Amino acid sequence: MPEVPDLEAIRKFFNRTVAGETIEKVDTPIPVVIRVPREEFVRLLTGDTLGEVHRHGKFLLFTLASGRLMVVNAMLTGRFSLVEPSRKRHARTCFVLGLSGGKELRYADQRLMGRVYLATPETLETLPQFAEMGPDVLSPSLTEEVFRDRLRKYTGQIKSVLVNHKFVAGIGNAYADEILWAARVHPYRKRSQMSDDEIGALYRATGDVLNWAEPIVWEKMGESLDYKEWRDHLRVHRRGGEPCPRCGTTISEITAGQRITNFCRTCQPEVPRGF
């Protein structure tokens, strides 16, 4: 699943490569992910010009010269590419934008779970999930005070809280593991069991981990957006059975509800310190 470091790198890539290009042709071979009528999607985008790309949570917002926004929530398996038209299309390519610079911006989705909308700044809040999202995880407005105040509303396991977009927008499964490892907090700890110091550590780790990962992903992306998940820099996620890079304890891996969780039982004790 694309997470904030991936989406930030993709956003920067598009702003460097396609901003200012006109959409000359629109093809929708699998329109099921497009949440407006197919004919309207083609008509409204054809001839429009791409502007700056923004991100909120896991949504990418492509601004257009017309004032409209193309809003993409890639979900689990949505993938972008920017390639020559002669390049073979990925399986389940959902839409293709032929650009004035000669390349095609493509979106493919193996499970067809993503959602693509056309909106305006005034109608963004009407999109599914958008209005209910908490502040973006990298927003300057997400101060420690705001983080703590929002966290008080939840009582469940802390990893489940972190990936809940209603708490804060943008944290996914992989980086939740990394944040909790950096903060030394057990993923199945109840929020009500966490000390003030642990909550502070969690807040700091959230920003530190995402800001650490984004330039790494950006460097790995390089000049190509033939997107894949860049995960080999992660320290605990999907590293079950390997030694913890901090203490050497074997990293645990638990699969529950189709979600893989990795953590270190030594660095992230189940019983809170001081209890």
Residues with active-site annotation = 2-3, 58, 259
Quote the Cα angle for 40-69-25, to 5°.
50
Which stretches of 109-268 are DSSP H helices? 144-151, 158-162, 173-183, 196-221
CB 11 within 8 A of CB 93: no
SS3 216: helix
Residue type, 242: E
Question: What's the DSSP call for residue 117?
Answer: E
Cβ neighbours of residue 84 closer than 8 Å, sequence gap 6 or more: 102, 103, 104
